[in-house]
A and B are shown apart, each in its own frame.
Chain A
């Protein structure tokens, strides 16, 4: 369109001509819309089919160590994507929330430390653990929403480190350095959830639940308000939104997701110790979320798969003491080439091959 055409269109007062020619652009997945249609596509069916069929073909080792672990870690990282990618609040304390859930599960439920654990049934201990961890997540949010950017990272890191030392030094409730061993998944309706395949399906069900919950909330008024607050908190205030309250509520939702992930990760490990909530794990969750990409709720799960694969098999490529170098190198390479993580790489590849014009459909809105 020439400058003259543009000027004429503008002076005519409508701008329709101008808009009609420039508006066919790729959708930006990082922002959800109130009612954007997301029809079920072949790739969705394929992914779900693969996830359901995976234990049928994979060895128990792959099912448990790779599949279940990735999904549990992905769920915890999803809570960070929800906060960071959509709310603009990068919290390093999401593993702390997951750790609180794990510790509470061990304290109220059964563990190898019979003197400290109350030994209550799983159906009492699990809800209590999730509620307490969600409350802790909300409290961390209440503490940190007054800060932004690097200060949020610092304050949540401080909370995480403080909890780590609390776990390390408190012997009367948290059993200090030893933590709690033998915190196992229960047997429900005759199904032993400790077995790789049942445990995989349990984690898969929770991961799908978390994924769809996040997707749903992000398109609900609350989620759109969250994204508005991420982009421009001052403007949201000037629209009548209580920005701080919204942010605390977002921490509560993220806390719930992290708490469920924490229970599953504790069952996966069969233990919870100060090492489970140490600084390296706080950072690992951030690495997983960034590695996958924070522009879509699927990102943390992709990041978790890559992270777990590297963590499990890097040792075959390089010396035991140096396998972290491989993880760090891959992380560095992905972030360098694509700031949006693996999802960003995928989007870049798709834009190179736009022949399937689905990618060029305009975005939806309220219809």
Chain B
């Protein structure tokens, strides 16, 4: 939905923030999963959000994408207030996400999954006509298939893929269209060491103008691919800084890394 940017929005646009959260909260009854959370991610910035299980990271993603409405606060995407927008409008505006546990269409082929992802952010979602061989949607889906190295299983139902391949497909679907900000929710979960190395290569190879936010428990990965790190604890922001600052912060070490070390 196109909106005319007002003076306040123009000011935000000029600051170059891809995403800005202003005092965002999300409660489930008495439980405050995210509480008064404010932060901004610059265009082209790569950010990690880390924190112990239950810190509110995935809920934060759900509020950003609109899967959950914010109880209070504002979500601005490239200056536009999208707080009241449904998820599909935010996606069409250039926001993408992957899910912690793969939410793929298991009976459809890998190609069809990517085709759906491309079609979802393109025109012709309601088309009753079959796409021709020269269709740009097909070409885009093929491009994604190669990008995430799944060409050899393109015709297979997703249910037949290994866990690692399903995670790769999730990332491929997030890259459909022209994403401006991608939210990766634990993309390395359950991957083998070799697959993790491939993931790091894939994330580092993303175009520089593309921002992403990464939830990741594996700090080796998180700290190797991001510019800044936000630490969440009990639904609130605990720290923010460069990977080196966060790694050496005694409070973070005690709360988060200490727990990770024992896991």
Q: Which residues of A contact B (CB under 8 A)?
A: 7, 10-16, 18-19, 22-23, 25, 28, 30-31, 33-35, 216-217, 219-222, 224-225, 227-228, 231-232, 234-243, 245-246, 249, 362-367
Contact = CB atoms under 8 A, between A and B. Distances in A.
Interface in B90-108: 91-92, 97, 99, 103-108
A19 B169 CA distance: 15
Contact of B120 (A10, A240, A245): A240
A363 B97 CA distance: 28
B180 to A, nearest CB: 13
A268 B139 CA distance: 49
Contacts of A241: 88, 120, 125
Contacts of B154: 365-366
B164 to A, nearest CB: 6
A231 B107 contact: yes
6 contacts: A15-B153, A31-B157, A216-B130, A237-B87, A365-B110, A366-B141
Given A25-B160, A33-B112, 14 more contacts: A15-B161, A33-B109, A216-B128, A217-B128, A224-B108, A225-B116, A236-B116, A238-B91, A240-B121, A243-B88, A365-B109, A365-B110, A365-B111, A366-B111
A234 B87 CA distance: 9
B208 interface: no
Nearest to B129: A220
Given A237-B86, A366-B115, A33 B105 contact: no
A10 B163 CA distance: 10
A253 to B, nearest CB: 8
Nearest to A243: B88
A234 B86 CA distance: 11
Contacts, number: 163
A249 B126 CA distance: 8
A224 B160 contact: no
Given A18-B162, A232-B105, A220 B110 contact: no
A221 B125 contact: yes
Interface in B128-168: 128-131, 137-138, 141-142, 149, 152-157, 160-162, 164-165
A337 B122 CA distance: 44
A234 B103 contact: yes
A344 to B, nearest CB: 16
A16 B152 contact: yes
A341 to B, nearest CB: 18
B105 A235 contact: yes
A7 B162 CA distance: 11
A186 to B, nearest CB: 30
Given A10-B194, A241-B88, A366-B141, A31 B108 contact: yes
B130 A34 contact: yes
B192 A10 contact: yes
Nearest to B103: A235
A-B pairs, 9 with minimum CB distance: A239-B120, A240-B120, A365-B109, A365-B111, A240-B91, A31-B107, A365-B155, A366-B111, A13-B194
Contact of B195 (A13, A18, A219, A236): A13
A363 B125 contact: no
Contacts of A242: 86, 88, 125
A23 B153 contact: yes
Contact of A222 (B104, B126, B192): B126
B11 interface: no
A22 B165 CA distance: 14
Contacts of B192: 7, 10-11
Contacts of B76: none
Interface string B58-79: 0000000101000000000000
A23 B160 contact: yes
A309 B253 CA distance: 75
Contacts of B119: 221, 225
Nearest to A221: B127
Contact of A231 (B67, B106, B162): B106
Given A15-B165, A31-B107, A366 B125 contact: no
Nearest to A35: B130
B207 to A, nearest CB: 20
A363 B105 contact: no
B124 interface: yes
A33 B103 CA distance: 19
Contacts of A245: 126
A249 to B, nearest CB: 6
Given A225-B119, A365-B111, A232 B130 contact: no
Given A15-B162, A231-B106, A239-B121, A364 B155 contact: yes
A15 B173 contact: no
A241 B127 CA distance: 12
Given A235-B103, A240-B88, A240-B92, A224 B162 contact: no
A222 B127 contact: yes
Contact of A363 (B157, B162, B198): B157
Contacts of B108: 31, 33, 224, 227-228, 231
Contacts of B110: 365
A366 B86 CA distance: 30
Contacts of B106: 231
Contacts of A221: 115, 119, 124-127, 129-131, 137
Given A217-B128, A222-B128, A365-B112, A12 B194 contact: yes
A331 to B, nearest CB: 27
Given A234-B103, A366-B141, A19 B161 contact: yes
Contacts of A243: 88
Contact of A224 (B91, B112, B161): B112
Contacts of A13: 194-195, 197-198
Nearest to A364: B155
